[in-house]
Amino acid sequence: MSAPAYEEAPYYKDLVHNLGYKPLVMAFAYVESYLIRGWKQLPISYYRRYVDEEFGVIIEGKSLFYEHLDDNTIRFYGEGGTEVIVFLFLEPRKDAWYE
């Protein structure tokens, strides 16, 4: 799957786990912006508010999200400088354990 071209999230960072499958992801980020201030789980949508001398108040949509590029790599998208805390779960997949 190709990376989505979300213009509001131009920065990304790859997490290479080399598990050979797509693990469950629990990712957290602290967002301090217009309307939200706190730790939330990704994906997160939020707004940045700026005051422009010419145009007045400008509200810009932002987001933090991720995608599995393949079975070994997860790509995280968001504003530059954002710290994302990631937990990966070794989950059972097609070979169910206890069915």
Partner 1 sequence: MSNRPVTKIARKGFDARYCSDRELSFSSEWKTPKIFKQTSSSWTNTLGYVPMFMGFRQLNEDVPFTALMSSEEILGGYNTSCFTHANPTYIDSPDFYDGVVIDLNGDLYINPFHGYNWTDENEFAVLFLDSIYGDIPTTYPLKSGGVYLLGKGDIDVRTAFPADNSIDSRFDTLKIFKTGTLELEVPEKTFMESESYKTYTAEVEHNLGYAPMFLPQASVGWILNMQLEDTSFVVNDELGLLPGSRAGIDEAPVLDVYVDSNKLYLRLWRFAYSFGERYYNAVTITLYYTIFYNKINEELDLISG
Nearer to partner 1, 55 or 98 (CB): 98
Find all residues with CB under 8 Å of 44, minimum gap 6, and list them. 29, 31, 36, 63, 64, 65
Q: Give the rounded distance of the alpha carbon of 23 from its chain centre.
A: 15
98 binds partner 1 (CB under 8 A): yes
Q: Give the separation between CA 47 and CA 36, rounded to whole angstroms.
A: 8
Which residues, 32 to 91, sit near partner 1 by CB under 8 A? Answer: 32, 35-46, 63, 65-68, 74, 85, 87, 89-91
Which residues, 3 to 42, sit near partner 1 by CB under 8 A? Answer: 4, 6, 21-22, 24-28, 30, 32, 35-42
Instruction: List residues bridging with 14 in a β-sheet.
Output: 75
Nearer to partner 1, 32 or 54 (CB): 32
DSSP letters spanning 17-41: ---SS--EEEEEEEEEEBTEEEEEE
Binding site for partner 1 (CB under 8 A): 1, 4, 6, 21-22, 24-28, 30, 32, 35-46, 63, 65-68, 74, 85, 87, 89-94, 96-99
